[in-house]
Structure 1
């Protein structure tokens, strides 16, 4: 049977020609399909953003939940008696007429040495016994209860004020890391005695004195005022690592910023366009993508191996971070220079300005916001680097504050790495999270400064 065109059977319909109604239906169907695709794309985008934000919230939330308790630690308000029966030392020397400064200094040092030899642990034990008369404990329990270095707190108080001899004063003493774990519930209290970090007497002291208010949670100021410590983990702080990071950032700012900006200006405005400059540009772009650990290997080989610079010193870490930050600053500065309108250059040259005057008087001021932003972001990136610093020995334990960039030190991210590997995980895991919070706060402050400076320079223009 022959095919029959049904459209020709419809009255008023020309065979082979689409009617307006069919065309409208086809267009509406296509629009519905496009709108549905657009809605799906928006839903996928919103879902991806929500998932990313959820991961970020989960990450920061877990860090905050774990780290915030570390900003408080237990301390005991004890009435300490500087008992003459225990502190058997002569009065503090006074410079006599005709006595030289060297002799007076020697006498003072001898007196301070005698003060150091006093059994300050016994002084603390007597204060604890007075605070908890109904608790059975031994001298060893007291040493496990109070942080080990607190005896030096009493010694220094007496050295500063010998008038405390025979007096009773209220002193706030930090408690040990194990007491911190016990009171914060980081240790299962139902474990047997042989599996507990604290002896029964020390645990009884902690519970009794915490219940009557003698022991309370105070802000952990030592986290900001002390260097790292292995002998007294409860008194370990970040000040040494912070100073080390500060020295390195100063070196980065002093060296990387002027060198990077000058190199970008020369390559963008003055350098001839030839194969050599093309090779330099390609290598700069490649260096920006090189893993940071490669810069650590370079620093260990060149600065330490060849130039014999001090190991684990901020000056070496700063130089390594300078090499790592330079490509970022050069690329960002060149992009800022490229964004300047050519009409500004042409107008300056047309008015008789030299090329140098055109660049430094007219082009460069416009790029200040971009250069400032790139610099601070580069510094913020450098302050969080860990891998290159590990390779130049900045993961060594340093218990003193660095006085100069040549002294041994560590850095904030490396200190976080060291604390995370500490054997007392119950105590140092929250402290590690607290250190991460501090490092993130520093980086957020630097990024906020970049945004503020950029907006301020933009308003001036």
Structure 2
């Protein structure tokens, strides 16, 4: 019997066939199990990451406030009874805060104790009283109950992030301050409220006064500039390369370089912006205009590649039908091809913009790491962006900035999720199948 006959006999043996079949099924089950394990591991890591961010960031959305019986003294605020907001705004509101606290704790005396007592409230409390007096001059000469923010140390203590069981020398809130807090809480003069200022103000050196609105506005203006530059240039480039450009060495060279630019580290674009936009053209440093131009350069390859893929997905029959009834090449592209490819183009654009929203390195190179308090009103005003704001807060030594950092990450993730969801909705709404 020849070897071929032996092999043929073995192959036709039912027991051997069932063994091989069982082995293949076992290998398939192991592969499915490994794939499921990988998916579950990825979900678990994502859940741990998001859970950690949310657990640390939620306290930042709440602020501890202390109720004070504030006497807006006529002698201190407006001795001449002029009613002039400028005169009222220049008054010494720290004196009013100190007198209000000493009403609650009359036993406090001495400079050190008074300083510690004043440290219970935020350094922005006098500014809050000033805003009340300026907006409503009728409060001058009256006594009002005003809720003011506590200092960051008191805030973290009330939220339970500083334990009173720790030895006094190892915690920032001393025993005397804990006694004052307990007394205020017993009188129901301490409350934790939702901090709307976190979404309405810009950055600050004091954690309890810092907000994300300035960085959010900077991100908005930066993305507007990025979109205005990258979208038309990217789409027109994709249309030319895909529909009009001849296939030769020059276009091949351009296509290769576009693909290579998509993989260039983002900090290289920052160095380019620093050398060209700032040093050569003299554009304003730390401005959304320059940031948007740098991010536009970084986003262009993504938009071009996505737009070309969307244009390729349009069936050739659409072009042939339009050409067959006498349309020119330009009419075919503008009236038929581009409108049908627009869902894919918009999806790629939004994904590219979402990538630009999360970039930090190129913006650090053009000076958007500066400490900016004021909310920008235009593309040429000094500004920062959300990723850079997160970087600044993460590098701050105050403990309260830990929660602020995680809260800002939550805001940034919210923007990214919204932009990616918008891309999915646009594709599902406008996508056509042939």
Q: Write the distance in 1 (CA, Å) between the matches of 2:143 and 2:432.
A: 62
Q: 3-state DSSP class of the match of 1:89?
A: coil
Closer/same/farther in 2, CA of residues 30 and 160 from structure 1, 3 Å limit: same
Match of 2:411 in 1: 438
Count of aligned pairs between the two proteins: 429
* Aligned equivalent of 1:196, options 144, 168, 171: 171
Match of 1:119 in 2: 92
| Range that drifts further, 181-190 or 152-161 | 181-190
Q: Write the distance in 2 (CA, Å) between the matches of 1:206 and 1:459.
A: 64
Q: What are structure 1's unaligned runs of at least 5 residues?
A: 6-14, 94-107
Q: Write the distance in 2 (CA, Å) between the matches of 1:272 and 1:21.
A: 57
* Aligned equivalent of 1:452, options 422, 425, 430: 425
Q: 3-state DSSP class of the match of 2:348?
A: helix
Match of 1:221 in 2: 196
Q: 3-state DSSP class of the match of 2:415?
A: helix
Q: What are structure 2's unaligned runs of at least 5 residues?
A: none
Match of 1:8 in 2: none
Match of 1:12 in 2: none
Match of 1:157 in 2: 132
Q: Write the distance in 1 (CA, Å) between the matches of 2:384 and 2:7.
A: 82
Match of 1:390 in 2: 364
Contact 1:132 1:209 (8 Å CA) reproduced: no
TM-score for both structures, normalised by structure 2: 0.93
Contact 2:89 2:134 (8 Å CA) reproduced: no
Q: Write the distance in 2 (CA, Å) between the matches of 1:450 and 1:226.
A: 30
Q: 3-state DSSP class of the match of 1:409?
A: coil
Closer/same/farther in 2, CA of residues 26 and 432 from structure 1, 3 Å limit: same
Q: Write the distance in 2 (CA, Å) between the matches of 1:350 and 1:116.
A: 76
The Cα shift of 1:126 comes to 2.7
Closer/same/farther in 2, CA of residues 19 and 222 from structure 1, 3 Å limit: same
Match of 1:176 in 2: 151
The Cα shift of 1:76 comes to 1.4
* Aligned equivalent of 2:381, options 407, 431, 439: 407
Contact 2:108 2:114 (8 Å CA) reproduced: no
> In the alignment, does 2:39 pair up with 1:29?
no
Greater Rg over alpha carbons, structure? 1
Q: 3-state DSSP class of the match of 1:406?
A: coil
Q: Write the distance in 2 (CA, Å) between the matches of 1:380 and 1:445.
A: 9
Q: 3-state DSSP class of the match of 1:289?
A: coil
* Aligned equivalent of 1:266, options 236, 240, 253: 240
Deviations 1:218-265 (A, max 9, x none): 1121211111111x3210111111111111000011110011001000
User: What pairs with 1:249-328 in structure 2 (closer than 5 Å)?
Assistant: 249-328=223-302
Match of 1:40 in 2: 30
Contact 1:227 1:240 (8 Å CA) reproduced: yes
The Cα shift of 1:354 comes to 0.7
Q: 3-state DSSP class of the match of 2:161?
A: coil
| Range that drifts further, 38-47 or 139-148 | 139-148
Q: Write the distance in 1 (CA, Å) between the matches of 2:268 and 2:67.
A: 51
Closer/same/farther in 2, CA of residues 416 and 304 from structure 1, 3 Å limit: same
Q: 3-state DSSP class of the match of 1:218?
A: strand
> In the alignment, does 2:400 pair up with 1:427?
yes
Closer/same/farther in 2, CA of residues 359 and 17 from structure 1, 3 Å limit: closer
Match of 1:75 in 2: 65
Contact 2:354 2:419 (8 Å CA) reproduced: yes
Contact 2:387 2:412 (8 Å CA) reproduced: yes
Q: 3-state DSSP class of the match of 1:304?
A: helix
The Cα shift of 1:168 comes to 1.5
Q: Write the distance in 2 (CA, Å) between the matches of 1:156 and 1:40.
A: 68
Q: Write the distance in 2 (CA, Å) between the matches of 1:297 and 1:211.
A: 57
Match of 2:322 in 1: 348
Q: 3-state DSSP class of the match of 2:13?
A: helix
The Cα shift of 1:361 comes to 1.0
| Range that drifts further, 131-140 or 173-182 | 131-140
Closer/same/farther in 2, CA of residues 17 and 320 from structure 1, 3 Å limit: closer
Q: Write the distance in 1 (CA, Å) between the matches of 2:415 and 2:164.
A: 37
Closer/same/farther in 2, CA of residues 301 and 249 from structure 1, 3 Å limit: same
Q: Write the distance in 2 (CA, Å) between the matches of 1:17 and 1:74.
A: 83
Match of 2:42 in 1: 52
Q: Write the distance in 2 (CA, Å) between the matches of 1:452 and 1:282.
A: 31
Q: Write the distance in 2 (CA, Å) between the matches of 1:61 and 1:291.
A: 30
Match of 1:97 in 2: none
The Cα shift of 1:34 comes to 0.6
Contact 1:333 1:371 (8 Å CA) reproduced: yes
Q: What RMSD, in angstroms, separates the aligned Cα atoms of the two structures?
A: 2.2
The Cα shift of 1:194 comes to 4.2
Match of 1:103 in 2: none
The Cα shift of 1:314 comes to 0.9
